Amino acid sequence: MEITVLPAILEQDINELQRKVDMVKGHVSEIHLDVMDNQFVPNETINDPEVISEVDWGDIQISLHLMINNPLLYLKKWALPNVSSIFVHREAVSNLEECIKTIRELDKKVGIAINPHTSTYDIKDVLDDLDAVMVMAVEPGFSAQAFNADVLEKIAYIRELKPDMPIYVDGGVSDKSKDEIIMAGASVLCANSYIFKSDDIAEAIKDLGELTQQY
């Protein structure tokens, strides 16, 4: 399966956000944008779609990772033209079906993210209605946390159920963890610190998309 690498951006400050967007322009067509409300997670980013739309995105599309409570209330505002997909958290949503339907009606790809301790059984019933699943390998809230290899089993299980579905992994993705992530069956690797702390962004992105070892 082809591997896609999405630089993940987690920012409170619009100038920093713009700087990171400019850093990846020309290297990727899409980024992963972290949105936090200081309620669902103990951290806050820019949480206002109007501010996000003021950024000069160029041709870059946004894969939106909403780490907010009651996302249903805010989905419409987040359906910006360059948002291609919207991920809500299973743990933040009471009526999953309604959330999925709303994102679909907004003409965006629908994804559900699950925290490290959330079981795949909690999304099993809706898997067929989704465009993608995101498996969190860290507790959401902060970048640069250690990869939790326990989630590899969940990736493999979802891959078994859905051979063609994009499976995203977010949190702790690096040159150290990427091989086991790809081998487990993930197809989209979201990475923040590994990419933005590297000296060569293009090289770091390319590196994450390829297996190091032969298997």
Contacts with ligand DX5 by CB under 6 A lie at 8, 10, 32, 34, 65, 138, 140-141, 143-145, 170-173, 190-194
CA 91 to chain centre: 15
Nearest alpha carbon to residue 84 among 54, 61, 104: 61
Which entry of ligand DX5, Zn ion, none binds 49, CB below 5 to 8 A by partner kind? none
- Which of 20, 65, 90, 159 forms a contact with Zn ion (CB under 5 A)? 65
Partner from Zn ion, ligand DX5, none contacting 193, C-beta within 5 to 8 A by type: ligand DX5
Tell me, yes or no, if 107 is annotated catalytic. no
The tokens for 206 are: 């390319």
Considering beta carbons, is residue 130 or 191 the nearer one to ligand DX5? Answer: 191
11 sits near Zn ion (criterion: CB under 5 A):
no
The reply on whether position 20 binds Zn ion by CB under 5 A is no
Residue 131 engages Zn ion in binding (rule: CB under 5 A): no
Q: Where are the beta strands (DSSP E) in 37-146?
A: 61-67, 83-89, 109-114, 132-136
The catalytic residue among 170, 175, 179, 199 is 170
Structure tokens at 74: 């805010």
Nearest to 63 by CA among 205, 159, 190: 190
- Closest distance to ligand DX5 from the beta carbon of 135 (Å): 12
Query: Among candidates 197, 196, 142, which has minimal Cα distance to 31?
Result: 196
175 included as an active-site residue: no
Distance of CA 44 to the CA centre of its chain: 16
> Number of C-alpha atoms within 13 angstroms, CB side, residue 30?
17
Interacting partner of 11 out of ligand DX5, Zn ion, none (Cβ under 5 to 8 A depending on kind): none
What residues make contact with Zn ion under the rule CB under 5 A?
34, 65, 170
Catalytic residue positions, numbered? 34, 170
